[in-house]
């Protein structure tokens, strides 16, 4: 069976646009394209105009049925924009955007999947908070594909009409990478869950939305930034399926959402697994000043470690995450920033397991000498054990790394 995989949209756009992309590996037989089952809806098809192109399905019928499944009653969008030209759609990359300087420093990868996989964009969609719905269907897109992507984007349209992104942003700290991951997971996970339920109820061909995201894990290499984005769909879907038994009950997830990626990954509430205190104080090298901080979260730790160790081991090493803080430093006349990434762990055993994986990750990336790693391009790394439950990874030029220290504080 031909694999279909979807990539996540940029985190920075989480409150303004929701979207999905579905490349396929190769162009093998796409299978049958049966029509929707007749009936099974208590609503009349909505009047939705298709502009810019054509669709193989009626978005008005899909919208009516998605609303039935979701138990919602919002006005339909006036139109759906349909594109059959990838460049006109203008959103065809698979995690192909540029990396931030810190993402480059920790070795994350970007760009398309290896050409040997024959990956190409098959279908995609995006929905804005202003109500604009756009879908792209490539030359090999089947009716099943079109139905899936239209339904998924119309779920996003309903979410925006209900103010779900705003509701989440009022309860989750979206100023952090970790918080943005949570919000994205609770936008995309419910959309996948609702789309799956719609397809199960109204079609008989076995097409589902959720399996496609597992396929992307086999398509992109470990440590690829696209896998981090894609995991928001996977973890978000699994979180909501463990919390509700019907899309009509999703409001309970939004009323009391998780606030960290750890809670999403392990199906915990904020009360069950709050971040622990970070008992680390950083003393930067002379002349370097703190210019910003961030919390990256367990999901980001998983992705980073997988640059140098097997994904399964990276997941285990990150599972004891209790908290983290990335501190960024700059110095006059220095082009590149310096970084101190501090971690707090649930217990001393979890800290030790992480530190072993961290050192192996660094060994895979560079040469170890005198307790430091030369990672290339003038980048040096050092691991400091702040306490038996805390760790610090220092990254930057040799003078910054050599002159930066960390110590445990009371707590």
Q: What is the pLDDT of residues 22-41, one digit of tens each?
A: 433 322 223 333 345 554 55
pLDDT of residue 122: 80
Residue 2 lies in a domain: no
Range of the domain at 249: 7-265
Same domain, residue pair 37 and 131 = yes
Residue 272 lies in a domain: no
Write out pLDDT tens, residues 140-169.
889 999 999 999 999 999 999 999 999 999
Same domain, residue pair 244 and 294 = no
Residue 86's Cα: distance from chain center in Å?
23
273 or 41, higher pLDDT? 273
Q: Which of 265, 290, 306 is the last residue of a domain?
A: 265
14 or 311, higher pLDDT? 311
Residue 350 lies in a domain: yes
How many structural domains comprise the chain? 2
Same domain, residue pair 162 and 30 = yes
Same domain, residue pair 374 and 244 = no
Residue 274 lies in a domain: no
Where residue 26 falls (left for φ over 0; alpha for ψ -120 to 50; beta otherwise) is: left
Rounded to whole angstroms, how far apart are CA atoms 156 and 126?
8
Q: Which of 205, 232, 265 is the last residue of a domain?
A: 265
Residue 329: pLDDT band (50, 70, 90) is very high
pLDDT of residue 114: 59
pLDDT of residue 232: 97
pLDDT of residue 98: 80
Is 247:71 a contact under the CB 8 Å cutoff?
yes
Residue 209 lies in a domain: yes
Where residue 297 falls (left for φ over 0; alpha for ψ -120 to 50; beta otherwise) is: left
Residue 1 lies in a domain: no
Question: Strands 119-128, 367-369: parallel, antiparallel or unpaired by DSSP?
Answer: unpaired
Residue 21 lies in a domain: yes
Residue 138: pLDDT band (50, 70, 90) is confident
**HEC sequence for the chain:** CCCECCEECCHHHCCCEEEEEEEEECCCCCCCCCCCCCCCCCCCCCCCEEECCCCCCCHHHHHHHHHHHHCCCCCCCCEEEEECCHHHHCCCCCCCCCCCHHHHHCCCECCCCCHHHCEEEEEEEEEECCCCEEEEECCCCCHHHHHHHHHHHHHHHHHHHHCHHHHHHCCCCCCCHHHHHHHHHHHHHHHHHHHHHHHHHHCCCCCCCCHHHHHHHHHCCCCEHHHHHHHHHHHHHHHHHHHCCCHHHCHHHHHCCCCCHHHHHCCCCCCCCCCCCCCEEEECCCCCEEEEEECCCHHHHHHHHCCCCCHHHHHHHHCCEEEEEEEEEECCCCCCCEEEEEEEECCHHHHHHHHHHHHHHHHHHCEEECCEEEEECCEEEEEEEEECCEEEEEEECHHHHHHCEEEECCC
Residue 88: pLDDT band (50, 70, 90) is confident
Rounded to whole angstroms, how far apart are CA atoms 250 and 243?
8
Same domain, residue pair 354 and 248 = no
pLDDT at 324 over 80: yes
Residue 328: pLDDT band (50, 70, 90) is very high
Q: Which residues pair with 51 in a beta bridge?
A: 81
Same domain, residue pair 53 and 153 = yes
pLDDT of residue 410: 60
pLDDT of residue 29: 27
Quick one: average pLDDT of 351-374?
Answer: 96
Same domain, residue pair 287 and 239 = no
How many Cβ atoms sit within 10 Å of the Cβ of residue 48?
22
Same domain, residue pair 162 and 292 = no
Same domain, residue pair 313 and 396 = yes
pLDDT of residue 89: 84
Quick one: average pLDDT of 307-336?
Answer: 96
Torsion (CA) 63, 65, 68, 74 in degrees, nearest 10: 10
pLDDT at 53 over 80: yes
Residue 121: pLDDT band (50, 70, 90) is low
Same domain, residue pair 167 and 223 = yes
Same domain, residue pair 90 and 229 = yes
- For residue 134, what are its two tokens? 């756009």
CA dist 357 to 309, 354, 379, 394, Å? 7, 5, 20, 16
pLDDT of residue 219: 86
Residue 273 lies in a domain: no
Residue 405: pLDDT band (50, 70, 90) is very high
- For residue 282, what are its two tokens? 């950083």
pLDDT of residue 40: 53
Q: Which of 234, 265, 296 is the last residue of a domain?
A: 265
Quick one: average pLDDT of 126-131?
Answer: 90
pLDDT at 409 over 70: yes
Longest dimension (CA), the chain: 72
Nearest residue to 148 (alpha-carbon basis) of 233, 31, 235, 66: 66
pLDDT above 90: percentage of residues in the chain: 74
pLDDT of residue 20: 65
Sign, Cα dihedral of 168, 169, 175, 181: positive
Residue 8: pLDDT band (50, 70, 90) is very low
**What's the CATH code of the domain at 367?**
3.40.1000
Rounded to whole angstroms, how far apart are CA atoms 78 and 362?
53
Residue 297's Cα: distance from chain center in Å?
12
Same domain, residue pair 320 and 400 = yes
């Amino acid at each position: 069976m031909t694999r279909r995989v979807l990539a996540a949209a940029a985190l920075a756009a989480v409150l303004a646009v929701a979207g999905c992309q579905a490349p396929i590996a190769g162009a093998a037989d796409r299978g049958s394209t049966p029509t929707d089952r007749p009936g099974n809806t208590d609503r009349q098809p909505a009047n939705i105009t298709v502009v810019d192109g054509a669709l193989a399905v009626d978005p008005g019928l899909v919208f009516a049925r998605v609303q039935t499944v979701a138990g919602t009653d919002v006005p339909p969008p006036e139109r759906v924009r349909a594109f059959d030209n990838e460049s006109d759609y203008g959103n065809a990359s698979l995690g192909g955007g540029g990396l931030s300087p810190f993402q480059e420093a920790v070795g994350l990868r970007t760009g398309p999947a290896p050409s040997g996989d024959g990956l190409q964009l098959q279908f995609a969609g995006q929905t804005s908070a202003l109500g604009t719905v756009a879908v792209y269907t490539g030359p090999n897109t089947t009716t099943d594909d079109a139905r899936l992507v239209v339904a998924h984007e119309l779920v996003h349209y309903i979410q925006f009409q209900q103010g779900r992104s705003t509701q989440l942003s009022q309860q989750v700290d979206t100023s952090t990478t970790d918080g943005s991951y949570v919000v994205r997971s609770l936008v995309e996970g419910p959309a996948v869950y609702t789309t799956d339920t719609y397809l199960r109820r109204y079609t008989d061909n076995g097409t589902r939305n959720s399996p496609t995201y597992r396929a992307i894990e086999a398509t992109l290499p470990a440590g690829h930034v696209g896998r981090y984005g894609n995991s928001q769909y996977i973890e978000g879907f699994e979180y909501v399926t463990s919390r509700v038994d019907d899309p009509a009950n999703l409001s309970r997830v939004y009323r009391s959402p998780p606030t960290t990626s750890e809670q999403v990954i392990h199906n915990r509430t904020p009360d069950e697994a709050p971040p622990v205190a970070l008992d680390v104080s950083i003393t930067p090298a002379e002349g370097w000043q703190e210019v910003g901080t961030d919390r990256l979260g367990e999901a980001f730790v998983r992705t980073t470690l997988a640059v140098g160790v097997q994904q399964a081991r990276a997941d285990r090493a990150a599972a004891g995450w209790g908290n983290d803080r990335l501190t960024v430093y700059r110095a006059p006349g220095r082009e590149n920033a310096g970084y101190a990434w501090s971690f707090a762990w649930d217990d001393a055993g979890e800290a030790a397991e992480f530190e072993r994986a961290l050192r192996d990750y660094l060994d895979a990336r560079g040469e170890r000498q005198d307790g430091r790693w030369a990672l290339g391009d003038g980048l040096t790394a050092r691991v400091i054990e702040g306490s038996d439950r805390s760790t610090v990874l220092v990254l930057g030029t040799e003078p910054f790394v050599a002159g930066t220290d960390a110590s445990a504080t009371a707590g």
